[in-house]
Structure formats: structure tokens, C-alpha cells
């Protein structure tokens, strides 16, 4: 797909991976529909940066974990003059849930933000892409989903679900819509990580270094442009998945 003059919807656009993805796709010629929830100031900063560089971004706020807000968000997206050619599901949360203390509320929060919106957004927008004859859906998983860390089991269950959802959507939306998943490794370490925690995160990474948000953004662009890849889960993790 030639990205010039295409439109990309990026969830969680304001910070971290979503921000880098938005900037990368904008630099490739895409108009951006930027979703954010609570990061209003950061979303405004992103809009300023894209606008200064000659790009275009339409910001839409929504709590995608709320079914009514999610449905309203889908309707607003569908009412825009240019429907999205590309959907990047990057909005997610991440926090520890040790087995002995994990609560049902924490479980539900992770599912409601990291997994459920991906299904409903991808269904609504993916079926419209299929009817138009072309589209891309790119999901963001996690390379650790197949070897879960003991203190993050519910989080990594959501990311395993993202990988399964990717394959199911690729089958359901074929041949017109290509659906793929990127599984990042140690990228954008949490700010409260100690040096020891960072070292532990990197010890199984073959390249022995942390990746960047831009590494993930470039992989998103590659999949958006690719015409013969669908149903794939691609690790962008410095070799951690085989470390």
C-alpha cells in the first residue's frame, strides 16, 4: 500500500508507542486520526508537531473501555470525510498483578482496555475496509505473551489474545484487509524500573540493548506498506523471543 494520502487511525496516539507510530505514519504521507483518553496535553503537543511538519491530524477523545463511548467513537470516525485505510491498535495499559494479590477489578481493567476494544474497533472498521476493497489492521502485542512473567499473567493473557485475534481477523477479513501483529520486546522501560530490573529485562535479549519506540513505528510502517503479509505476529525484540 502506498501510504501517501492514506488515513491512519492510531489508538493511544498521545504517548509512548502510539506517539512514535503517529509521527512515522504522518512522515510517510498519512493523515492521522489520533485517539487519546486522558493524555489531552500530550495529544495537543503531538498535533502541534505534526501540523508544523506539514501533516494533518484529527484528535478524538474516548474511553474505549466504556461500550457507549466506544460506539460513539466508532460513529464519529465513520462520519469523518476520509475513513481510515489503516487501523493501528496501540492503546494499552501495563502493571504487575502478582498471583497472590491480583484482583478481579485489575483483571477486568486489563481486558477492557487491552483486548476488548481491539475486537470491536477492528470488527467495525475492518468490515468497512473489506467492503471498500482494501485496508490494514496492525495490532501491538508483546513478545513475552508466549512465556509469561509470573507477576504479569493477566496482562500477558491480553497480549496472547491480541495475537489470536490477529489471526482470526486475518482469516475473517481476507483477502481485502491485511491484519498483522507486532510483538515488542524491551522498549520504553517503565520509569520506576531499577537498574537491576532493566538488566533483568535485557539479559535474554540477544542484542543486549533496549529497543526504541521508533523501532516499533518503523515496523508498523513496513506492515502498512506490505502487500503480501497477513496473519503474522512479528517480534521486534532484539532476539528476546529466542534468547
**CATH (domain of 25):** 3.40.50.720
Number of H helices, E strands in the chain: 8, 7
Residue 71 pLDDT greater than 80, yes or no: yes
Number of domains present in the structure of the chain: 1
Instruction: Say if 191 falls within a structural domain.
Output: yes
Beta pairing partners, 89: 139
Cα separation, 2 vs 224, in Å, equals 9
Q: Residue 193: its pLDDT value, please?
A: 77
When pLDDT is averaged across residues 117-144 and rounded to a whole number, the result is 98
Q: How confident is the model at residue 87 (pLDDT cuts 50, 70, 90)?
A: very high
Residue 243 pLDDT greater than 80, yes or no: no
Is 155 in the active site? yes
Q: Residue 201: its pLDDT value, please?
A: 79
Cα separation, 130 vs 53, in Å, equals 32
Instruction: Say if 1 falls within a structural domain.
Output: no
Work out the percent of the chain whose per-residue pLDDT is above 70: 99
pTM: 0.96
pLDDT digits (tens, 9 = 90+) for 133-152: 999 999 999 999 988 889 99
Q: Residue 41: its pLDDT value, please?
A: 98
- Domain residues for the domain of 233 are 7-242
pLDDT digits (tens, 9 = 90+) for 150-208: 999 999 999 999 999 999 999 999 999 999 999 999 998 766 778 887 888 788 899 99
Instruction: Say if 2 falls within a structural domain.
Output: no
Q: Residue 113: its pLDDT value, please?
A: 98
Q: Which residues of 189-228 are buried (b: 16+ CB within 10 A; e: fewer)?
A: eeeeeeeeeeeebbebbeeeebbebebbbebbbebbeeee
Q: Which residues of 145-170 are buried (b: 16+ CB within 10 A; e: fewer)?
A: beebeeebbbbbbbbbbbbebbbebb
Q: Residue 44: its pLDDT value, please?
A: 98
Instruction: Say if 13 falls within a structural domain.
Output: yes
Instruction: Say if 57 falls within a structural domain.
Output: yes
Cβ proximity of 86 and 8 under 8 Å: yes
Q: Residue 18: its pLDDT value, please?
A: 98
Question: Looking at 36, 152, 155, 228, which residue is catalytic?
Answer: 155
Amino acid at each position: 500500500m502506498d501510504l501517501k494520502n492514506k488515513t491512519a487511525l492510531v489508538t493511544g496516539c498521545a504517548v509512548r508507542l502510539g506517539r512514535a507510530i503517529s509521527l512515522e505514519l504522518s512522515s510517510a504521507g498519512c493523515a492521522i486520526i489520533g485517539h487519546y483518553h486522558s493524555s489531552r496535553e500530550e495529544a495537543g503537543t503531538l498535533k502541534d508537531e505534526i501540523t508544523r511538519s506539514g501533516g494533518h491530524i484529527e484528535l478524538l477523545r474516548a474511553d474505549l473501555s466504556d461500550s457507549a463511548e466506544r460506539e460513539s467513537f466508532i460513529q464519529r470516525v465513520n462520519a469523518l470525510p476520509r475513513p481510515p485505510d489503516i487501523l493501528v491498535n496501540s492503546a494499552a495499559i501495563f502493571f504487575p498483578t502478582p498471583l497472590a494479590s491480583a484482583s478481579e477489578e485489575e483483571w477486568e481493567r486489563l481486558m477492557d482496555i487491552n483486548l476488548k476494544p481491539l475486537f470491536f474497533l477492528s470488527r467495525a472498521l475492518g468490515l468497512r475496509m473489506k467492503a471498500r476493497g482494501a485496508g490494514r489492521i496492525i495490532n501491538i502485542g508483546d513478545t513475552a505473551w508466549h512465556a509469561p512473567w509470573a507477576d504479569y499473567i493477566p496482562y500477558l493473557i491480553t497480549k496472547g489474545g491480541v495475537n489470536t485475534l490477529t489471526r482470526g481477523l486475518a482469516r475473517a477479513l481476507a483477502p481485502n484487509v491485511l491484519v498483522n501483529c507486532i510483538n515488542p520486546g524491551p522498549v520504553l522501560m517503565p520509569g520506576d524500573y531499577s537498574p537491576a530490573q532493566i538488566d533483568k529485562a535485557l539479559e535474554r535479549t540477544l542484542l543486549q540493548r533496549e529497543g526504541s519506540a521508533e523501532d516499533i513505528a518503523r515496523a508498523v510502517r513496513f506492515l502498512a506498506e506490505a502487500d503480501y503479509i497477513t496473519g503474522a505476529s512479528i517480534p521486534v525484540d532484539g532476539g528476546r523471543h529466542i534468547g
